[in-house]
Amino acid sequence: MLQFHNTLTGKKEEFKPIKPGLVGMYHCGPTVYNYPHIGNLRPYVFADILRRGCELAGLKVTQVINITDFGHLTDDADAGEDKMTSALKREGKALTLEAMRELADKYTKYYVENIQQMNIRLPDVMPLASEHIKEDVELIKVLDEKGFIYQTSDGLYFDTSKDPDYGKLSPKMVTAQEAESSKSRIGANPEKKNQRDFAVWKFNNAIGFQSKWGQGFPGWHIECSAMSMRYLGETFDIHTGGIDHIPVHHNNEIAQAESATGKPLAHYWLHVAHVIINSEKMSKSLGNFLTLQNLIDQGIEPLTYRYWLLGAHYSTQMNLTIDSLKAAQTGYKKLLKFFSEITEGNEATKLDENFLNKFKEYIFDDLDTPKAIALLWDMTRDNNIDNATKKAMALEFDKVLGLGLGSIVKTELSEIPQNILNLVSQREIARKNKDWKTSDKIRDEISKLGYQLTDTEQGPVVLK
């Protein structure tokens, strides 16, 4: 029985899809105004595990992760400057939509590269906010016709007093958020009727899109509601994001979508805890973040970071240190070494049902990856299971864990240097994502370094 902790109800619940055998899931994607940091990547590792876990349960998944390429203010409510506009100024670019798109393309590329390095499968749909203005405007029109919208000098706002269920995702967090940010929000626009009212359209004479209300941008919250309903319908199964999305962004999504349709936006809401560093949330605004390239420069492989993340439940805050990552890398390398040294022989004729059922039990219990990782280690030490079965089981587990356990590298001559192993791992990820251009490029690079790479059914073989 697949079950998740639902933020909406505060309980762990059995997952019952709207349509038997199918599941639609939406994940709040990145705002592409800077390089993604490794804290940003945790929600997408979680989204990947969620997708794989649902597939393990026999469900056909439609996964949507958006790209926010405008409209996200520096304050998650309505204060501050648009993050993309701020980035254009930071990089000395013209304040034009064309320049904004070029900037978004640049950082979207880095985001996609990062998730591929982390062996995160690309979603079925990755919509750009800037390509869904029509859907935003249509949703705002419906809300306006129903009397939920009022206009101020700087934009259109959703009147939360007209939604009796506003904040139902987290009433206590909404109250705390109001107390913390009341000065900044009221200071940003004293014309707001209520401090928790939020913008659905912000006027901007310098840069923006045309609408009947004036030039500007849709609000960040309306973008996600419009895109999720565009691809998954007015009601879908699962909506996820970071815990910081709960009090403002996700409550606002629910309010505007459900006020427009009269239907629940999503049945299950799942949220991921932060990765912190030096006891603070990792944040671009605080400048206390590390990128994936920073880890690679310190000898930490991307899949080591994935392994480290899976060592804690997604709802648990994680404190990152380089020492903890190095310890994780030691364990991860031992796993890879164990499976690479299993001698070839007869293939396993069947899987070990006891271990397989236990693995499913852990994954189906709110994606308990720490127990699943521990079970993988237990299996390697079990003398009652032959090596062929262990190898087959590892590949079965890895369909969910995504640790690259199937990328077994062998050599007939000598130990392969770490830089070559890293390239082979990156190429396997590119191949899984059908990124043949990158795959061929890496193969050529390996060849130039003096190694021959051959693809086999058992995995890549590297020879000096």
Strand pairing report for 318-319 and 11-14: unpaired
- Residue 164 identity (one-letter amino acid): P
Question: Alpha-carbon distance 119 to 114, whole Å?
Answer: 9
Question: Alpha-carbon distance 165 to 53, whole Å?
Answer: 32
Question: Alpha-carbon distance 112 to 118, whole Å?
Answer: 10
pLDDT at 414: 44
User: How many other CB atoms are found less than 10 A from the CB of residue 451?
Assistant: 18
pLDDT at 363: 99
* CATH fold group of domain 3-272: Rossmann fold (3.40.50)
285-463: which CATH architecture? Up-down Bundle (1.20)
User: pLDDT tens track of the chain, all 464 residues?
Assistant: 999 999 999 999 999 999 999 999 999 999 999 889 999 999 999 999 999 999 999 999 999 999 998 865 555 555 557 788 888 889 888 888 898 899 999 999 999 999 999 999 999 999 999 999 999 999 999 999 999 999 999 999 999 999 999 999 987 665 555 544 544 443 457 899 998 999 999 998 888 899 999 999 999 999 999 999 999 999 999 999 999 999 999 999 999 999 999 999 999 999 999 999 877 777 766 777 899 999 999 999 999 999 999 999 999 999 999 999 999 999 999 998 888 877 555 566 688 999 999 999 999 999 999 999 999 999 999 999 998 899 899 999 999 999 988 765 444 334 677 678 778 878 888 887 778 888 888 888 888 887 777 665 556 767 66
Question: Alpha-carbon distance 458 to 203, whole Å?
Answer: 58
pLDDT at 444: 83
Domain range annotation of the chain: 3-272, 285-463
